[in-house]
Structure 1
Amino acid sequence: MAFKPQIKIPATYMRGGTSKGVFFNLSDLPVAAQVPGAARDALLLRVIGSPDPYGKQTDGMGGATSSTSKTVILSKSTQTDHDVDYLFGQVAIDKPFIDWSGNCGNLTAAVGSFAISNGLVDKGRLPENGLATVRIWQANIKKTIIAQVPITNGQVQETGDFELDGVTFPAAEVEVAFVDPADGEGAMFPTGNIIDRLVVPEVGEFNVTLINAGIPTIFLNASDLGFTGCELQDDINNDDAILARFETIRAHGALKMGLINDLEEAKSRQHTPKVAIVAPAKGYVSSSGKVIEQSAIDVNVRALSMGKLHHAMMGTAAVAIATAAAIPGSLVNIAAGGKERTAVTFGHPSGTLKVGAQALCVDEQWQVERAIMSRSARVLMEGWVRIPQE
């Protein structure tokens, strides 16, 4: 029996923040995959190596974690005053689906670099040396993101001395600003409340802050679930009962936020919302062995992504943390000391991160003009990715 040869597609494998993903120029994809639908999803699933019942993604580019099972499609922007359209797909590891419901804040740091290097940004807007301002249209949530990409001798500069906890080696700093970060699916506080009471049958009742900023996020007090807020991945990810409890809470929170119509829908919407626990600042030893002093942070936050505790912090969840910390009365703000602030440094499993946001209450509605953080990005490999033909 004759089998068809593999097809090859131009692609770039990039790290952005604490995530990795396969980046494509839309025009390089096979014609059937240049539009949303089954053909696109099937292609990207095969690229990443999903679904994999072994959970390893050995026969694909995925790294068997939510942070490394990601795809990005970029194109010249269709929006006025923007340079590039950025579409993100979170690929499930053991299931045959891609979640297009949210953004990846970490990979956002790599979008500007890819766009410049692949001719998606007009050369007239690029300095020979200095910072290039790349105007990104985040197509999943229909929001604007501004990336400041360092340029040296007309080329993207990737090397530098900026250190990001959760990433082993230093690189060039990329400042990313999320403009009007309230998620595109509704109000910043979908219930109209800064704190809600969430009733989860057979699990408990919890005070929660439900926020749409960066990405829809459910914040709970760590102590209400029996945690300290200093947990590392193994403390949670090795316990299936704990993970099941978090997933049940996430599903009920999604329902209360109006993101789903029934609990069953949560199974096909794993990327959003995120669920996170917060606790007052307390020292701990990070996953790398680094001692995090209590005085170095304002609050501890741990967040789950795709059903597992994240090894550091998702970039979009960091936006939610910054936004909630800036709003008096939210669980994040209370855990951080309850004072007015425009920036917060939080502890996560790999270390610390400082993020900024300035909140303003207008007509009894909270608004945040932009949330800002620094990340880094680097091309790991470029060329072609190969997949078997159907």
Structure 2
Amino acid sequence: MLRAIKASFYRGGTSKGLFFRASDLAPFPQSMRNEILLSAMGSPDPDGRQIDGMGGGISSLSKAVVLSTPGEAVSEMSRGPEYSFPDGVDWVDDVSRASSERSGWDVVYRFAQVGVRDFVVDWSSTCGNLVAAVAQYAVDEGLVQKRIEASIQGQTPPERFPFATRILAADSGKIIHATTVVCTPGSLESGRLRWYVSNFGGASISGVPSTSSPVEIENPLQGNMLPTGRVLDAIPMEGKSIPCTIVDAGLPSIFIPSSAVFSVPEWFLSHPADLDADPRFRARAEELRYAASRLSPALSSIFSTSTPKICVIGSPASYRTTSGEELRSNQMDCVIRAVSVGNFHRTVPATMVSALAVASVLPGSVVWDACQASVLPQEKNMSLRSITVGQPAGLSKATVALDIHGQPKSINYVRTARRLFQGEVLVKA
């Protein structure tokens, strides 16, 4: 017997995930929500294909999102502790606080990393790529209808205009602004115009073959971005000290030089499928990830299958992308291979490219050294610095904004998104 639950399926950046409203999952205790997500995604699958669900067999394609407006379904979730969503900041449903025009938020974003081979649902992290899809969902589902109307009050509605959705990441309490191009079909729905996000435009990102309308994301940086308090750390291993830099720009990322994983430099530039096929590389990366997380109590306390991430980094180099394109070393500031949930990624996670941008302006960091100080102010505005990263699918770019003291204050990057289906997902009853 199967049960239908309302859901949508989105691509956001180079990730895909199932999207649910909190009100549709609130009637279930948290343990059952986890089982719903596992069943929907086809996990666990010992063969790693998720053949019996919506998952794509790798961590970037095995994700779920639960979205809500502030205060949505609070009464149902307050039936008992077993009905609460996993711990994050405890004020996500403070309606009064959320209504502030200056520091409020429109939607609450809860993220779950669903295991592929394992019976695991990890709610402790977030996904920067899916932020683009969260912004589109908020418009598609009418969650920001009133704010859109207020933004153009007294004006003739333009056919297309930018609108910034304020997204609260429930795990950290960060408020992220994601600006989409909003359109109206010019018809009334229940006597009102209904807005939607344009899917037409010239924006492209590595790893996605089509172009679309851009989603401009501003991720504020707050608190301590160096979990160990140091720009450069050393991982004691096998009688050696392996340098690393750990940055938290939304999700902790550990940066290590390529020589720490690959004894032959050319192996570093191999296709990620070839790297995944060699158990030596994955085991080495996981060994370093675990050892680096022991450098900070804050990191060791949140250590899981998906947190922190680890990134292998090297100096600019020429190589062939997964699509066969030839990239030259002078097109980038560094080359990376990102590892997430045990796999070498085809692209770079948005949270990781954010951390790369932060580390690139910290003299002495592993990223600074790999870039060979090439990451200098490129914009006319000297408070902005950009980094271009070579990754298996191509090039990715992020810009870090600096405050008057030269310290990172926000990360800006562009992604695209698309709704792939809307309706109901069938799960085991």
TM-score (norm 1): 0.90
1:114 is matched with: 137
Q: Distance in 1 between matches of 2:298 and 2:123?
A: 13
Paired residues, number: 370
1:235 is matched with: 274
Amino acid at match of 1:225: V
2:371 is matched with: 336
3-state SS of paired residue (1:146): strand
Cα deviations across residues 80-122 of structure 1 (Å, max 9, x unaligned)? 2100000000011111111112110111110011011112114
Q: Distance in 1 between matches of 2:2 and 2:260?
A: 52
Kept in 1, the 8 Å contact 2:256–2:311? The answer is: yes
Residue 224 of structure 1: how far off its partner (Å): 3.4
Q: Distance in 1 between matches of 2:53 and 2:26?
A: 18
Kept in 1, the 8 Å contact 2:299–2:308? The answer is: no
Q: What are structure 1's unaligned runs of at least 5 residues?
A: none
Describe the shift of the 1:66–1:115 C-alpha distance in structure 2 as closer, same or farther (beyond 3 A).
same
Residue 317 of structure 1: how far off its partner (Å): 0.7
Q: What are structure 2's unaligned runs of at least 5 residues?
A: 71-92, 99-103, 185-194, 378-384
Moved over 3 A (4+): 259-262, 359-362
Kept in 1, the 8 Å contact 2:261–2:281? The answer is: no
Asked whether 1:279 is paired with 2:314, we answer yes
Root-mean-square deviation (CA, aligned residues, Å) is 2.0
Amino acid at match of 1:82: W
Residue 189 of structure 1: how far off its partner (Å): 1.2
1:308 is matched with: 343
3-state SS of paired residue (1:250): helix
3-state SS of paired residue (2:116): coil
Asked whether 1:167 is paired with 2:199, we answer no
Describe the shift of the 1:307–1:26 C-alpha distance in structure 2 as closer, same or farther (beyond 3 A).
same
1:56 is matched with: 49
Cα deviations across residues 251-296 of structure 1 (Å, max 9, x unaligned)? 111121324558xx85xx1111111111111111100001112121
1:215 is matched with: 251
Q: Distance in 1 between matches of 2:26 and 2:134?
A: 21
3-state SS of paired residue (2:242): strand
1:197 is matched with: 234
Q: Distance in 2 between matches of 1:333 and 1:212?
A: 16
Residue 18 of structure 1: how far off its partner (Å): 0.3
Amino acid at match of 2:209: T
Amino acid at match of 1:59: D
Describe the shift of the 1:199–1:122 C-alpha distance in structure 2 as closer, same or farther (beyond 3 A).
same
Cα deviations across residues 224-268 of structure 1 (Å, max 9, x unaligned)? 333455332033111112111111111111121324558xx85xx
Amino acid at match of 1:291: E
1:371 alignment partner, one of 396, 411, 419: 411
2:173 is matched with: 142
Residue 181 of structure 1: how far off its partner (Å): 5.5
Larger radius of gyration between Structure 1 and Structure 2? 2
Describe the shift of the 1:345–1:10 C-alpha distance in structure 2 as closer, same or farther (beyond 3 A).
same
1:180 is matched with: 221
Residue 63 of structure 1: how far off its partner (Å): 0.6
Identity %: 32
Describe the shift of the 1:236–1:383 C-alpha distance in structure 2 as closer, same or farther (beyond 3 A).
same
Residue 319 of structure 1: how far off its partner (Å): 0.8
Describe the shift of the 1:30–1:224 C-alpha distance in structure 2 as closer, same or farther (beyond 3 A).
closer
Q: Distance in 2 between matches of 1:347 and 1:109?
A: 22
Kept in 2, the 8 Å contact 1:326–1:358? The answer is: no
Describe the shift of the 1:260–1:345 C-alpha distance in structure 2 as closer, same or farther (beyond 3 A).
closer
2:188 is matched with: none
3-state SS of paired residue (2:234): strand
Matches within 5 A, 1:84-163: 84-126=107-149, 128=157, 129-153=160-184, 154-163=195-204
